[in-house]
A and B are shown apart, each in its own frame.
Chain A
Amino acid sequence: MSGHFNLWVYLSASPLTWLGVTLAAYLVGDTISTATKRHPMANPVLIAVALISVLLVTTETGYGAYFQGAQFIHVLLGPATVALAIPMVRNRDQIIRHWRAMGLALGCGALTGVVTAIVLAKALGGSELLVRSMAPKSITVAIAMGISRENGGEPALTAALVMFTGVLGAVAVTPLMNMLGIKDWRARGFAAGLAAHGLGTARALSVHPIAGTFAGLALAMNGLMTALVAPVLLRLLP
Chain B
Amino acid sequence: MVLHGFVFLVIAQLAGESLAQLLSIPVPGPVMAVAALVALFWAQGLVPAAVGEAADVLLRHLSLLFVPAGVGVLQHLPLVRAEWFVIVVTVVASTLLTMTVTALVFSLVVKHVEEGQS
Q: Which residues of A contact B (CB under 8 A)?
A: 22-23, 25-26, 30, 44-46, 48-49, 52-53, 56-57, 63, 66-67, 70-71, 73-74, 76-90, 92-93, 97-98, 100-102, 104-106, 108-109, 112-113, 116-117, 120-121, 124-127, 129-130, 134, 137-138, 141-143, 145-147, 150-151, 154, 156-157, 159-166, 168-169, 172-173, 176-177, 180, 182, 184, 186-188, 190-192, 194-196, 198-199, 201-202, 216, 218, 220, 223-224, 227-228, 231
Contacts and interface: CB of A to CB of B under 8 A. Distances in A.
Contacts of B38: 85, 88-89
Nearest to A76: B65
Contacts of B87: 126, 130, 134, 161, 164
B110 interface: yes
A159 B68 CA distance: 9
Main secondary structure of the interface of B (DSSP, over half): helix
Which of B64, B75, B102, B109 counts the most chain A CB atoms within 10 A?
B102
A231 B113 CA distance: 32
Contacts of A77: 65-66, 69
Given A108-B105, A112-B98, A137-B94, A154 B76 contact: yes
Contact of A56 (B62, B71, B85, B106): B71
Nearest to A71: B68
Report, as a range, how many residues of chain B touch the other chain. Answer: 35 or more
Contacts of A228: 27
Contacts of B79: 127, 129-130, 157
B76 A126 contact: no
Contact of B106 (A25, A85, A164, A184): A184
Interface in B49-104: 51-52, 54-56, 58-59, 62-76, 79-80, 83, 85-87, 89-104
8 contacts: A45-B70, A77-B65, A130-B83, A134-B91, A154-B76, A187-B107, A191-B106, A227-B27
A176 B35 CA distance: 32
B19 interface: no
Contact of B16 (A82, A84, A102, A194): A82
B31 A227 contact: yes
Contacts of B90: 116-117, 120-121, 124, 126, 134
Contact of B71 (A70, A190, A195): A70
Contacts of A177: 99, 103
A79 B10 contact: yes
Nearest to A116: B94
A109 B100 CA distance: 8
B95 A223 contact: no
Contacts of B6: 79
Given A83-B55, A160-B73, 20 more contacts: A67-B68, A73-B65, A80-B62, A86-B47, A88-B34, A89-B42, A121-B86, A125-B86, A130-B86, A134-B91, A156-B73, A165-B94, A169-B95, A172-B99, A184-B106, A187-B102, A190-B106, A191-B102, A196-B95, A227-B27
